[in-house]
Structure 1
Amino acid sequence: MKKIALFASGSGSNVQAIADSVQKGEIPAEITILVCDQPDAYVIKRAEKLQIPVFAFRAKDYSSKAEFEREIVQKLQEAEVDYIFLAGYMRLIGETLLNAYGGKIVNIHPSLLPAFPGKDAIGQAFTARVKITGVTVHFVDEGMDTGPIIDQEMVRIANEDTRESLQVKIQQVEHQLYPKVIRQLVTEASRGEGKK
């Protein structure tokens, strides 16, 4: 069974959705660590309830990104992590983590990339008055939301939508799409190793 790490910075609704799918047996994996760069984030309470070990840190306590990423890599190796899934982690992944887990780091983004990369994609789409936005799951590279796309799902923006109602719609799609993609990735990886 594959071992996965979840990275988050905020409330962790995607962490909850992934953990629920793992508990139901829909994702054949074990969540062995949550990494969080905000020690007071609500996601840590979720992880404690779910009995997921947590590594929480503050970037400002380190001299560089490379320094805190080296510590993260050490924690991931101790937890025997195969894949990293970013679930609302609000930091660009640096080369230390990319070198250690290249091709094994996946992110979810609340737009149809390449449209509206970066922060507040929901607000960007809403302000641009587009009729269609959505959710993208993609591999992480050194750019800002530029890695190869794995899957996408469309969300229509209705005339009566507010930014808040659009966020709810997008989160509902995220909570379905991300567990589905994770299930596919870990299942294919396990099958591939079985064939070897």
Structure 2
Amino acid sequence: MSRFWRRFKRLVPKRKRKKEAIELSLIDLMSMAKPNLESREKILQKLSGLELVNCFQCIKCTSGCTALKLLELKPHEIIKLVNLGFVDELAASDIIWTCVTCLKCLQRCPQRASPYHVIMALRNLAVEREAKVPEGYLKAVSRVLETGLAEGVQDVVSRKMEIFNRENLKLPKIAYPKESFQAAFMKAMEER
């Protein structure tokens, strides 16, 4: 058994009680999975400019990963699983939503096999298959569509625990770019 799969077996969660139901992680999904080469080819076609098959597992992408502590798998292992044909399992897992898109893996990869682009393609595939998207992403998208901003205006707390907002500070109200954003968004969707 390869080092890669032994590592997976160590990560499989153990049950505390037999009656307790546990959530299926990617490792659980992988335990009975068989590679799907059709899904692999679809992803490789979408990522035609990348050289996924040239990835020699140097781990430069993983060593610079901002979300390494959050990831169940490391970025280089995501590339490995795609190359092996386990695209469906990755698209069904929550792991693809933990990437913070810092693009360090893109900058570090000597073989142009960026895990960032692979993760984005897997996210798109998950959405196409109507997989469960984390609530935080849905809230962010709806906020952008409603206001045109990724974050709303927030109150600030001073060291003396005083709350300040734009009104207290006599600052003008912020004009949200809602209309201009929606017009640009609709134009982009029509061109698509």
TM-score bin, normalised by smaller chain: under 0.3
User: Looking at CA atoms only, which structure, 1 or 2, has the larger radius of gyration?
Assistant: 2
With structure 1 as the length reference, what TM-score do the two structures score?
0.23
Which has the larger strand fraction? 1
Which has the larger helix fraction? 2
- Between 1 and 2, higher relative CO (CA 8 Å, sep ≥ 6) is seen in 1
